[in-house]
Amino acid sequence: MLYTILAGLILAFAAPLLYRLLGRFISVPMVVLPAVLFAYFCTFISPVVAGQLVMQEYSWIPSLGINLQFMLDGLGLFFALLITSFGVLVMAYAGAYLKGDSHLGRFYLYLTLFMTAMLGVVLSSNILCLLVFWELTSISSYLLISYKHKYEVSRASALQALLITNGGGLCLMAGLILLGIAGDSFSFIELLQQRPDLLNHSFYLPIVLLIMLGAFTKSAQFPFHVWLPNAMAAPTPVSAYLHSATMVKAGVYLLARFSPMLGGTEVWNYTIMAVGATTAVVGAFLALQQLDLKAILAYTTISALGSLVTLIGIGSTFALEAMLVFLLAHALYKGALFMIAGTVDHATGTRDTTKLHLLGKRMPLLSAAAVLSALSMAGMIPFFGFLGKELLYEGAFEAPRFAVPLTAAIVFSGIAFVAVAVRLGYGIFFRKSANEATHIAHKPETFLWLPPLLLGIAGLVFGILPNITVAPILSAAAGAVAGSEVHLHLALWHGFNPILMLTILTIILGIVFYAFTNIFTTWPVHLERLYKIGPGELYYTLKNSLSIGSKGFIESVQSGSLRYYVAVIIMTFIVLVVGAIWQEELYRVVTPDTFIAALSDIELNEYILILLMVPATIFVCLTNSRLIAITTMSLVGYAIALSYIFFGAPDLAATQFLVETLTAVLFVLVLHKLPPFVPLVKYKTNAFYLSLSVLFGATMAYVLVMVRQFPLDSELKAYFGATSWLEAKGRNIVNVILVDYRAFDTMGEITVLAIAVIGIFSLLKLYPEKGDQL
765 scored as a contact of another protein (CB under 8 A) = yes
640 scored as a contact of another protein (CB under 8 A) = no
Which run of H or E residues covers position 61? Answer: strand 54-61
32 scored as a contact of another protein (CB under 8 A) = no
Please say which residue, 68 or 478, places its beta carbon nearer to another protein: 68
Cβ atoms < 10 Å from Cβ of 473 = 22
d(CA 175, CA 203): 9
Q: Comparing C-alpha atoms, which of 314, 320, 228 is closest to residue 275?
A: 314
726 scored as a contact of another protein (CB under 8 A) = no
Closest separation between CB of residue 757 and another protein, Å?
5
Closest separation between CB of residue 755 and another protein, Å?
10
Please say which residue, 62 or 711, places its beta carbon nearer to another protein: 62
Of 670, 674, 680, 726, the one binding another protein by CB under 8 A: 670
Closest separation between CB of residue 724 and another protein, Å?
10
Closest separation between CB of residue 7 and another protein, Å?
14
Closest separation between CB of residue 634 and another protein, Å?
15
760 scored as a contact of another protein (CB under 8 A) = yes
Q: What part of residues 46-65 is at the interface with another protein (CB under 8 A)? A: 58-63
d(CA 750, CA 747): 5
Rg over CA atoms, the chain? 33
Of 39, 608, 628, 756, the one binding another protein by CB under 8 A: 756
* Sign, Cα dihedral of 244, 246, 249, 251: negative
Closest separation between CB of residue 673 and another protein, Å?
8
566 scored as a contact of another protein (CB under 8 A) = no
Q: What part of residues 646-665 is at the interface with another protein (CB under 8 A)? A: 650-651, 654-655, 658-659, 662, 665
Burial 90-110 (b: 16+ CB within 10 A, else e): bbbbbbbbbeebeebbebbbb
Of 25, 735, 766, 772, the one binding another protein by CB under 8 A: 735
21 scored as a contact of another protein (CB under 8 A) = no
Of 39, 205, 580, 666, the one binding another protein by CB under 8 A: 666
Of 571, 750, 766, 772, the one binding another protein by CB under 8 A: 750
704 scored as a contact of another protein (CB under 8 A) = no
Do residues 102 and 26 make contact, with C-beta atoms less than 8 angstroms apart? Answer: no
723 scored as a contact of another protein (CB under 8 A) = no
Do residues 302 and 279 make contact, with C-beta atoms less than 8 angstroms apart? Answer: yes
736 scored as a contact of another protein (CB under 8 A) = yes
DSSP string, 633-669: HHHHHHHHHHHHHHTT-HHHHHHHHHHHHHHHHHHHH
Helices (H) and strands (E) in the chain, counts: 36, 2
d(CA 180, CA 186): 5
408 scored as a contact of another protein (CB under 8 A) = no
499-504 LR contacts (CB < 8 Å, sep 24+) = 499/390, 499/393, 499/394, 499/397, 500/390, 502/393, 502/397, 502/407, 502/411, 503/379, 503/386, 503/389, 503/390, 503/393, 503/414
Q: Comparing C-alpha atoms, which of 494, 271, 448 is closest to residue 342?
A: 448
Please say which residue, 61 or 690, places its beta carbon nearer to another protein: 61
Of 764, 767, 768, 769, the one binding another protein by CB under 8 A: 764
d(CA 73, CA 53): 5
How far is it between the farthest Cα atoms of the chain?
107
Residue 69 — φ and ψ, nearest 5°? -105, 125
730 scored as a contact of another protein (CB under 8 A) = yes
d(CA 416, CA 281): 9
701 scored as a contact of another protein (CB under 8 A) = no
Stretch that binds another protein, among 200-208, 595-603, 707-715, 746-754 (CB under 8 A): 746-754
Q: Comparing C-alpha atoms, which of 273, 169, 243 is closest to residue 211?
A: 169
DSSP string, 662-710: HHHHHHHHHHTTSPPP---S-HHHHHHHHHHHHHHHHHHHHHHHHHTTS
747 scored as a contact of another protein (CB under 8 A) = yes
Do residues 320 and 476 make contact, with C-beta atoms less than 8 angstroms apart? Answer: no
SS3 at position 601:
coil
Please say which residue, 604 or 670, places its beta carbon nearer to another protein: 670
Closest separation between CB of residue 663 and another protein, Å?
10
Closest separation between CB of residue 122 and another protein, Å?
22
Closest separation between CB of residue 747 and another protein, Å?
6
Helix, strand, coil % (nearest 5) of the chain?
Answer: 75, 5, 20
607 scored as a contact of another protein (CB under 8 A) = no
Binding mask 427-466 for another protein (x = CB under 8 A): ----------------------------------------
Name the CA dihedral angle for 506, 509, 513, 516, rounded to a multiple of 10 degrees: 170
731 scored as a contact of another protein (CB under 8 A) = yes
Please say which residue, 494 or 717, places its beta carbon nearer to another protein: 717
Please say which residue, 60 or 523, places its beta carbon nearer to another protein: 60
Please say which residue, 73 or 660, places its beta carbon nearer to another protein: 660
Residue 128 — φ and ψ, nearest 5°? -75, -35
209 scored as a contact of another protein (CB under 8 A) = no
Q: Which residues of this chain interact with another protein, rule CB under 8 A?
A: 58-63, 650-651, 654-655, 658-659, 662, 665-666, 669-670, 728-732, 734-736, 738-740, 743-744, 746-747, 750-751, 753-754, 756-758, 760-761, 764-765
